[in-house]
Chains A and B, each alone.
Chain A
Amino acid sequence: MKQLVILSGKGGTGKTSVTAAFAHLLSRSDAPFRTVLADADVDAANLELVLSPKILSREDFRGGQFAKIDWDTCTGCGICEQVCRFDAIGDASQPQFHRLAIMRVAESDTPNAPIPDLPIVDTIACDGCAACVYQCPVDAITMHDQVVGQWFRSESRYGPLFHAALGAAQENSGKLVTLVKQQARLLAMDEGYDLVLVDGPPGIGCPVISAVSGADLALIVTEPTASGAHDMRRVLETTDHFDVPALVCINKADIYPQGAAEIEEFCRQKGIQVVGKIPFDTLVTEAMVQGQTVTHYAPDAPISHALGNVWDKVASKLKDIQP
């Protein structure tokens, strides 16, 4: 079984549209791989919007923990605030903690009680390190966890899809990415699939590292803009750091041909294969509005041919790689 991850560095270059087109092409009876799909962009999970998945099972994802201070026990000594390195503990004299204290009192059994001069935890800022728990001299602090998202196994138009939804303002997206990928791989192994196709997140940090981990090949979808080229270089350094071979395709290549030529020259110098240029076409958005991939919606359009050519090159590279 092999794993292909689609990345970009910069957001909005077309990762999901390319992934969805590949998923469509891979669903044909003559496709070289039987494929399981995984959406590793759990902050902005869009693949499902063009694959019309039917959810077969859903599971809660419990995220990292947060601290809670018991005001009945707390003496207000301030040690917790001193040891917290995440600016997550303060008292009502500071504006952002004042609001939290008001909310906590309002939701308590005594909503009309005065706001106490005691520390409170900003659960969104809390890293879950529990340093305060161990330093509190009167054991007034305990850790709690919560459901921060869900992950799903679905049957999509183009085969099995693993995806997730992380609640807004939550952490641990890297862990959720790892979980989604792990589940996709397990199914692939159990049922003899040949490929896990992973739609990656933007950036180069924690969720990207989780998405890259274990991949046999990365396809970087870039665009011929100064920003696209800048971020492509950073994501190529990242795949290189984790020893994952990478290919590049240039999306919306015709919006600024000079930029596309510069990317091609950069890749030539670095020995990175450019597997194609895809034109800008509002058909992609039209197809998206219909909940479809562009290759399905407009199979004979130049953009669909370009995507088909990119896929052929990626597939031939994948076949050459020993897992």
Chain B
Amino acid sequence: MIIAVASGKGGTGKTTVATSLAQTLSRNNLSISCLDCDVEAPNAHIFIQPNLDQRKNVDMQIPKVDADLCTGCGRCAEVCQFHAIVVLGGQTLVFPEMCHGCGSCALVCPEDAITEVPQTLGILEGGLASDGIDFGHGLLNIGEPMAVPVISQLKKWRNYMDADIVVLDSPPGASCPVVESVRGADFVLLVTEPTPFGLHDLRQAYELTQEVNIPAGVIINRDGIGDAGVEAYCHEVNLPILMRIPLERKIGEGIAQGKTLLDIDPKYEKQFMQLYRQIGNRVEAGGAQ
């Protein structure tokens, strides 16, 4: 089973939930992969403390033009949807920062003057944590705009997806990096806080799960702060609230130091096991429909 943790708004506790859930399941003898798909601001390793001894570059294929073969016909520039290759004064120029690595230019070049060369977008790191979690994350290079290829390659790396349970920690927001992160998941846990900002962004995130047709449930973090808007919305759209984590100084301090909820208070192991069973029941019920 693949469980993605997403949120819309940043800083609502995605990583807290993802790492605590992964830790709970590995302590209960299940084979667990945990992938941190927030390749722009990855933090799950701080809580899981894996031994990151595996590394792989994430490359994108970008065009390289052989000036001797190129006739300047401009077919490549015609097909490029991203203005990443242009012909100026008979010379064909490539702008790597605009390129999406689709390979269309190389396919259409009548002179076979375009080869593709790898450009590194980021790096994948992986390894085992002491509690047996098989962990992986991606790091987008500084100044590099495209997070999606790093996420998609992370999800294809090292048989992570073959584990009994895969926990995916998604980036915040509701656009393409989140879609790539939750793609293929059986269930999305939406972590929110009961505030107007939390509600606004929960709506976006929930709409995303509907767009990609994955069942979802909500975890309310910092329960007790704010207002009743999130609760009312969940009832209105029939979105189940699966867990609540209270606003407590002890939790805030512990997380600041890189502790999971289980490290802070062992009672959470039982709560996360219950959460996992609820998710399992919902996924099974959905599959039977």
- Residues in A lying within 8 Å of B, measured CB to CB: 8-13, 16, 42-46, 49, 64-65, 83, 85-87, 96, 99, 124-125, 127-131, 134-135, 143, 166-174, 201-206, 208-209, 223-227, 230-231, 234-235, 237-238, 241-242, 252, 255-256, 259, 280, 282, 285, 288-289, 291
Contact across chains for A285 and B226 when beta carbons are under 8 A apart? yes
A12-B10, A209-B143 are contacts. A168–B40 as well, Cβ < 8 Å? no
Number of residues on chain B facing chain A (CB within 8 A) = 65
A9-B41, A130-B104, A285-B226 are contacts. A205–B144 as well, Cβ < 8 Å? yes
Contact across chains for B43 and A230 when beta carbons are under 8 A apart? yes
Shortest Cβ distance from B180 into A: residue: A125
Contact across chains for A85 and B101 when beta carbons are under 8 A apart? yes
Report if B71 contacts A (CB, 8 A). no
Complex-state Cα separation, A268 to B173, whole angstroms: 32
Supply 17 A–B pairs (Cβ within 8 Å), ascending by A: A11-B10, A42-B175, A46-B196, A96-B184, A130-B79, A130-B81, A131-B79, A168-B208, A169-B207, A202-B11, A223-B256, A227-B43, A227-B46, A231-B41, A259-B257, A280-B252, A289-B226
Contact of B107 among A13, A131, A167, A235 (CB under 8 A): A131
Q: Which of A170, A202, A224, A227 has the most CB of B within 10 A?
A: A227
> Which residues of the other chain, A, contact B201 by a CB distance below 8 angstroms?
43-44, 46
Contact across chains for B104 and A203 when beta carbons are under 8 A apart? no
A46-B197, A285-B226 are contacts. A205–B145 as well, Cβ < 8 Å? yes
Report if B55 contacts A (CB, 8 A). no
Q: 1/0 per position for B64-82, CB-CB distance to A under 8 A? A: 0000000000000001011
Complex-state Cα separation, A19 to B155, whole angstroms: 36
> Which residues of the other chain, B, contact A171 by a CB distance below 8 angstroms?
175-176
Complex-state Cα separation, A216 to B182, whole angstroms: 36
> Which residues of the other chain, B, contact A46 by a CB distance below 8 angstroms?
9, 196-197, 200-201
> Which residues of the other chain, A, contact B12 by a CB distance below 8 angstroms?
11-12
Complex-state Cα separation, A131 to B144, whole angstroms: 23
Complex-state Cα separation, A143 to B143, whole angstroms: 30
Q: Which of B94-136 contact A (CB under 8 A)?
A: 100-104, 107-108
> Which residues of the other chain, B, contact A237 by a CB distance below 8 angstroms?
142
Contact of A12 among B11, B144, B179 (CB under 8 A): B11
Contact of A169 among B143, B174, B196, B255 (CB under 8 A): B174
Q: Ordered nearest first, which 3 A-B pairs have the shortest CB separation? A: A11-B10, A12-B11, A129-B102
Shortest Cβ distance from B229 into A: residue: A289
Contact across chains for B173 and A238 when beta carbons are under 8 A apart? no
> Which residues of the other chain, B, contact A124 by a CB distance below 8 angstroms?
179, 211-212
Report if B62 contacts A (CB, 8 A). no
Nearest Cβ distance between residue A211 and chain B, in whole angstroms?
12
Shortest Cβ distance from A12 into B: residue: B11
| Given pairs A10-B10, A124-B211, A226-B43, 10 additional interface contacts (CB within 8 A) | A12-B11, A124-B212, A130-B104, A166-B174, A172-B175, A174-B145, A202-B40, A231-B41, A259-B256, A289-B195
